[in-house]
Amino acid sequence: MFNKKSKTRIKTKGALQSFFIWPVLAGILLIVMNVMIYFISIPSATVISALVVIYAIILGLMWFYYKPTILRQMVGFAEDYAQVQHRLMDELALPYALLDDSGHVMWTNEAMRGIIGKEKDFHKSITTIFPDISREMFPKEDKVCRKHITFNDRDYQVELKLVSIDFSIDKSEILDGEDAAFVSMYMFDETDINRCRKQIHDEGFVAGLIYIDNYDEAFEGIEDARCSLFLGLIDKRVNKYFSPGAAIVRKLEKDKYLAVFTYQYLEKLIADKFSILNDIKSINIGNERTITFSIGIGTGADDYSKNFDIARAAMDLALGRGGDQAVIKEGDKVTYFGGKSQLAEKNDRVKIRVKAQALMRVMENNEEFLIMGHKIPDIDSFASAIGIYLMARKMKKNAHIVINEITSTVEPFMARFTSNEDYPDDMFFTSQDALEYVSPSTVLIVVDVNRPQITECPELLNICKTKIVFDHHRQTSEPITDTFMSYVDSSASSASEMVTEMLTYVNEGAKLRGLEADALYAGIVIDTDGFNSKSGPRTFEVAAYLRRNGADVSRVRKLLRNDMADYKAIAAAVSRAEVYRDCFAISVFDGEGLKSPTTGGAQAANELLDIRGIKASFVVTKYEDKIYVSARSIDEVNVQVIMEKLGGGGHMTVAGAQFTDTNINNVIINIKQTLDDMIANDEL
């Protein structure tokens, strides 16, 4: 079909080759048949021979003349079809570009050129137009890479796909088909879709609950004539705050409100940082105490009722953290605002009696109890566990206290129990003992902690079906779940105070022993820093009860004394403290060789608060494979929210955090950076 000088001969194969071969095979069959007929009838064979000759002439014409013509027409059709495809691709409404493996533009269609504002001869790197698209993003093998970008105020989803060039014609003189590949780039305009999504999201339903934290206390001492005015001012302030968002505000009870508004307005409240928390405190018509709010916001669910349930969970979290704050719960994401003020103490004896009676009913219906506090226990954790143990012992139940590490402050108190024959040898369990002893019917009582990760034995939380929590720390977003009863009172000075209050109802008519009263009294002394912090009427009432039951102040003081090595380490930490931003003391406690370095670090943090001008102190202690931070303040700074930024928690005035896989210098840098960020955002 081509002369000898041609470099390439077009060869047919497949169905087209069969189309040309079968007539030849049919001609051969006719010749064989013609020869056989000669043996039967020569006249008939002669006629057939003439027909065979005619067939051969037609076959020759088809093979040598029409075949090249057909092939040329097919090649022409392919060329025309390729032009049609090229035109269709060029006029395709979807922006499309072909890139080489280095990211340079090889070809673009009209839609793409219209977006980027370039002509056909543009062959620079695609990164010069879209900085977010780089060569490192190019997909490997058959994977597709997708990225969302914004260009000229439009939103696009860019899709990059590898186009492999594997030529069946291996004689191409311009391309190597083995590794050659292009990258196809499609752009899908998502602007309208995103606009609709945002509109749907912004118009989503948000449920908000607003509670007055201290309604009864705030109205004390106000004349009856002014009570209505006071309440009217509160109602007006609440309605005025939510009215710009076209919110529906309804009063549920005398101290509770429900607000329904859109997510779009919630974003404005977030930007405003819920200024109503501070504005409401300015209402004063002669009331001795300022009003504070707790706000729980629920959103992110598929229906309205679930959002309301989420709002109630957010409110529980706000109240558990001490009130005077707003908590937004969107799915698993929790955001806090406010919480800067000290929670006013609530002397609710009805609630205490109800909790004590509920605990007694649990003890009446069960036989086995395990009591545990937090890791590296302090005297408050130990003493509150002792208090629960005494309740179980009074009701003749089997109870054991889970404790692993015995710190220097706990050791002298624990020794008084272990050396006393009136207490059983199995009064204290290690975690291993507890895991061998426990059964699903065992009741687990957790004291002085509500975070599962830092309990003495977290595995017990998964085994025991009945769990009870007593704690005085502000609740975190990851509390112990599935509890039968949870009594978290962040207004209490200590867990020992809470347990002792319940003891007054459970242990009526019975007198505590001196070593028992000493332990509970010591727990209160330590957590109140000698009654200098968070000490209210409840605290002193409980202390008086313990004194009447044999607690000896001098004996407790002797048991809490440090040895000389501990005292020197504390003094050294205080002396090397750095004052950051004129009001934050940051120091490192060297606990090498000491039995309880973390306790020494906490004591050093307390000592730093006695320095004039210090609003908060942070002492960093390295112990075993972890680094601990003890944070303390008096009343001007909420160290709990600072420690929460670092993954910890605690009280407004007493908090802490733990770090792994880092060093002391990095921890100090993190503390300073957190302080800087919170000051810049007016979060302190």
Q: How far is CA 589 from CA 198, 380, 383, in A?
A: 51, 22, 26
How deeply is 504 buried, as exposed, middle or buried, from its count of CB atoms within 10 A (0-12, 13-18, 19+)? middle
Work out the mean pLDDT of the chain and round it to a whole number.
84
**Nearest partner of 325 among 640, 611, 627, judged by Cα:** 640
Please report which confidence band the pLDDT of residue 3 belongs to, taking 50, 70 and 90 as the band edges: very low
Contact assessment for residue 134 and residue 102, using Cβ atoms and an 8 Å cutoff: no
DSSP 661: S
- What is the helix (H) or strand (E) element at residue 96, kind and residue range? strand 96-99
Phi-psi sector, 277: left (phi>0), alpha (psi -120 to 50), beta: alpha
Architecture (CATH level 2) of domain 209-338:
2-Layer Sandwich (3.30)
Tokens of 645: 């930024």
User: Going along 14-92, which residue ranges are E strands?
Assistant: none
**Nearest partner of 112 among 184, 200, 19, judged by Cα:** 184
DSSP 343: P
Residue 171, pLDDT above cutoff 50: no
Residue 610, pLDDT above cutoff 60: yes
CB atoms closer than 10 angstroms to residue 182: 16
| Cα within 13 Å of Cα(39), Cβ side | 4
| DSSP states along 524-562 | HHHHTTTTTSS--HHHHHHHHHHHHTT--HHHHHHHT--
Tell me, what's the pLDDT at 169?
41
**Nearest partner of 494 among 469, 473, 463, judged by Cα:** 473
Is domain 96-198 classified as CATH 3.40.50.1980?
no
pLDDT tens for 477-532 read 678 888 898 888 877 888 999 999 988 887 666 788 999 999 999 999 988 888 88
The whole-angstrom separation of Cα 601 and Cα 584 is 16
Please report which confidence band the pLDDT of residue 675 belongs to, taking 50, 70 and 90 as the band edges: very high
DSSP 257: E
Q: What is the mean pLDDT of residues 308-315?
A: 91
Tell me, what's the pLDDT at 343?
55
Q: Which amino acid is at 428?
A: F
Phi-psi sector, 327: left (phi>0), alpha (psi -120 to 50), beta: beta
Residue 609, pLDDT above cutoff 50: yes
Contact assessment for residue 603 and residue 572, using Cβ atoms and an 8 Å cutoff: no
Tell me, what's the pLDDT at 179?
55
Rounded to 5°, angle at Cα 448 from 445 and 453: 80
Tell me, what's the pLDDT at 445?
95
The whole-angstrom separation of Cα 275 and Cα 337 is 10
Residue 423, SS3? coil
Class of the CATH domain delimited by 349-559: alpha beta
Q: In what order do the strands lie in the sheet with 105-108?
A: 105-108, 96-99, 181-189, 154-164, 144-151
Name, in order, each residue with C-beta under 8 angstroms of 521's C-beta and a sequence gap of 6 or more: 496, 543, 546, 547, 551, 553, 556
Name, in order, each residue with C-beta under 8 angstroms of 475's C-beta and a sequence gap of 6 or more: 316, 317, 320, 321, 450, 488, 490
Name, in order, each residue with C-beta under 8 angstroms of 583's C-beta and a sequence gap of 6 or more: 613, 614, 615, 616
Tell me, what's the pLDDT at 5?
42
The whole-angstrom separation of Cα 13 and Cα 10 is 10
The whole-angstrom separation of Cα 621 and Cα 529 is 20
Domain with CATH 3.30.70.270 in the chain: 209-338
Tokens of 682: 């007016």
Rounded to 5°, angle at Cα 459 from 453 and 461: 80
Domain with CATH 3.30.450.20 in the chain: 96-198
Residue 341, pLDDT above cutoff 70: no
Domain with CATH 3.90.1640.10 in the chain: 349-559
pLDDT tens for 570-605 read 999 999 999 999 999 999 999 888 888 888 898 899
Tell me, what's the pLDDT at 608?
93
Phi-psi sector, 152: left (phi>0), alpha (psi -120 to 50), beta: left
Residue 1, pLDDT above cutoff 70: no
Tell me, what's the pLDDT at 346?
56
Tell me, what's the pLDDT at 111?
85
**Nearest partner of 601 among 618, 614, 613, judged by Cα:** 618
Contact assessment for residue 599 and residue 623, using Cβ atoms and an 8 Å cutoff: no
Tell me, what's the pLDDT at 218?
78
Tokens of 653: 């005035």
The whole-angstrom separation of Cα 671 and Cα 653 is 16
Tell me, what's the pLDDT at 98?
84
Name, in order, each residue with C-beta under 8 angstroms of 292's C-beta and a sequence gap of 6 or more: 212, 213, 214, 277, 280, 281, 323, 324, 341, 344
Percent residues over pLDDT 70 in the chain: 88
From first CA to last CA, the distance across the chain in angstroms is 90
pLDDT tens for 27-50 read 788 888 888 888 888 888 788 888
Tell me, what's the pLDDT at 203?
81
Lowest average pLDDT, out of 126-140, 164-178, 355-369, 435-449, goes to 164-178
Name, in order, each residue with C-beta under 8 angstroms of 525's C-beta and a sequence gap of 6 or more: 531, 556, 560
How deeply is 444 buried, as exposed, middle or buried, from its count of CB atoms within 10 A (0-12, 13-18, 19+)? buried
Please report which confidence band the pLDDT of residue 11 belongs to, taking 50, 70 and 90 as the band edges: low
Is domain 564-680 classified as CATH 3.10.310.30?
yes
Contact assessment for residue 609 and residue 634, using Cβ atoms and an 8 Å cutoff: yes
Please report which confidence band the pLDDT of residue 547 belongs to, taking 50, 70 and 90 as the band edges: very high
Tell me, what's the pLDDT at 345?
53
